Structure 1
Amino acid sequence: MTAALGLGTYRCPDVTGAALMAASRGADWVDTAPNYEHGQAETSLAEVLAAHPGLRVSTKVGFVPVNAKDLALRAGVLTAGDADRGHCLAPDYIAWQLDRSKRLLGRVPDVVFLHNPEHGCGKNEISSRLHAAFVALEEACSQQLISAYGVATWRGISSGLFDVPMLLELAAKAGGPNHHLRAVQLPISLVHLAPVAQALNGHGPLADAAAAGLEVFASAPLHGGEIPGMVTPELSELINPGWSAAEVALAVVASTPGVKRVLLSTGSPEHWTQAAEAVGRPPLSPDLLRRVVDVLGT
């Protein structure tokens, strides 16, 4: 395929176990966030990262972990309103959370994503919110708190609130031509097929990211485990009748032009091995991907 398989830790009840399993089976990337595993995900990953120095890690900033809310309030980096909303991208909070993430992980994260910057934000506010956050992230890069940053979004791009060219423009404004924006993360699956269709036609977020040298992380490739039950016999027959529904779904995502990493949340060795085999096969042809889009629509 055109992509590598990485571990996503959203909804993983045992992050340590899942990361150890994935690392022992060749995973080179794990993606997490301070609010995952009830606020314990970064702490849970520390021992795995120490034992596997070649395992790269990305985390996020935005959603406020329940177990860190009072700490942030006492530190004066979180307002009561943002604490109630559970989400904050104010520069002071970003700096505080990045320092905390580095300490909990036990190392500098390879990428830090702004986590759903569209959360509670309208069209008139998003540009200023992103720019202020990028300035804070560029400062963190200069202080070696992080190596690079990106944007992880669920609906910010699909809703038209922002696009990759806008992100690049704001990053250049915040950090100059040598800015540290390196990645975007968005849902790509048989449910979220619009990015696939756009990429096949040479436009959209994946094409824009590829042109700028940004790494694309595909999140929720199985849509929270729902997709295998949605794969029809017709679709399986079209792609490969011998594959499982999960293999079919993962093959489509991993074959999409521009996708560099597919993030799978699982602690099951069986599911991981099956997914690694699916992602490791030769990519599906663009013509076949177009037929999948025609069958399912966007």
Structure 2
Amino acid sequence: MRGADTRVVLGLHRSRHERRLLTGALDLGVTALDTSTNYLGFRSHRILARTAGDLLPKFTVSTKVGYFPGRNGGEHCLDPVRLHAAVEQAAEELGREPDLVFLHNPEHSLREGAPHGRDVLAQACTALDDAAAKGLCAAWGVASWDPSPLLNLIDPTAPRPSVLMVRAGLLVGVGTLDAADALIKAWDLGDSAVWGMSPFGGSASAPVWARIDPRVFLRDSSRLSRVQAAFQAAYHLPRVDSVAVGTDEPAHLGELVDTLTGEVEERTIQEYRRLLRDRSQGQPA
């Protein structure tokens, strides 16, 4: 069994929640587990507790609140009472208090929230801050698929998240990268308080990874595969300390863990971001 390394977080989005995956993760030293109230048809917490309740104390467990069962499968809501109750329910269903609870995609309900979006976001953050103060979770954060709508809604007097989770990797647009950087600055978060997610844009087997060679971003590309190089680059687009990645295969997870000794060429990363920005502005590369 390898030593614990929290730079890789096992994400359970689209996962079958099989026990062998969790035992395999522990063998690889992956001791951070990320799920959500709405994963696996709103059954993720209960399935985890039933199939691997004895393993959960060996993980730091993060989950997310913001989506609730509805007529069409699910609805998003930032009502503080419902959010607080969702944190309570998460702890009850998991059989333990989560180490971290994310406010899940708050932009989903804030796109139409003007002119009261700032108040809505502040109240939602306060609800999670209160839940942490009451011991229902150890800490709280914000997980945002599209952070751009949040930039003008931050109330400096409202509680600040401990962790921000955003999309990361070579398939993330420059607008999302810049918005993530702006949020990190606004909330005064260091690199260790920022997580990346969806490093392959949904699938490591997508055709795009056969058409491009992400090893150009590495200082030494001789020993890593294209998928491994793409995963390593995700830690720098934007700069994050941990990356949540989903898989049902421990072997694939092990392949990603093996990338952590690689080094990215920072100048190439910055040049790539410049090219993305030029393209978004219609400038010639």
Same fold (TM over 0.5): yes
Report what 1:57 is aligned to.
61
1:266 pairs with 2:247: yes
More off after superposition, 280-289 vs 254-263: 254-263
TM-score (norm 2): 0.80
Report what 1:192 is aligned to.
172
Q: Structure 2: how far apart are the matches of 1:250 and 1:5?
A: 10
Report what 1:114 is aligned to.
103
Per-residue deviation, residues 28-82 of structure 1 (Å, max 9, x unmatched): 211100110111211222253532523101111111146xx8xxxxxxxxxxxxx
1:162 to 141, 146, 150: 150
Residues 21 and 267 of structure 1 are in contact (CA less than 8 Å); yes or no, is this contact kept in structure 2? no
More off after superposition, 36-45 vs 204-213: 204-213
Residues 91 and 97 of structure 2 are in contact (CA less than 8 Å); yes or no, is this contact kept in structure 1? yes
Instruction: Report deviation, 1:225.
Output: 0.4
Distance change in 2, residues 1:209/1:257 (3 Å):
farther
Instruction: Report deviation, 1:190.
Output: 0.9
The residue type equivalent to 2:98 in the other structure is P
Distance change in 2, residues 1:203/1:268 (3 Å):
closer
Pairing 1:70-89 to 2, within 5 Å after superposition: 86-89=75-78
1:105 pairs with 2:86: no
Residues 6 and 263 of structure 1 are in contact (CA less than 8 Å); yes or no, is this contact kept in structure 2? yes
Distance change in 2, residues 1:117/1:214 (3 Å):
farther
Unmatched runs of 5 consecutive residues or more in structure 2? 281-285
1:124 pairs with 2:127: no
TM-score (norm 1): 0.77
The 3-state SS of whatever aligns with 1:259 is coil
Give identity over the alignment, percent.
24
Q: Structure 2: how far apart are the matches of 1:274 and 1:132?
A: 41
Per-residue deviation, residues 153-174 of structure 1 (Å, max 9, x unmatched): 111x23xx223x96472534xx
Aligned pair count?
Answer: 268
Residues 111 and 149 of structure 1 are in contact (CA less than 8 Å); yes or no, is this contact kept in structure 2? yes
Q: Structure 1: how far apart are the matches of 2:69 and 2:25?
A: 25
Instruction: Report deviation, 1:95.
Output: 1.9
The residue type equivalent to 1:51 in the other structure is L
Instruction: Report deviation, 1:99.
Output: 1.1
The structure with higher relative contact order (CA 8 Å, sep 6+) is 1
2:226 to 234, 239, 245: 245
**Greater percentage in helix:** 1
Unmatched runs of 5 consecutive residues or more in structure 1? 70-82, 173-178
The residue type equivalent to 2:174 in the other structure is A
Instruction: Report deviation, 1:212.
Output: 5.3
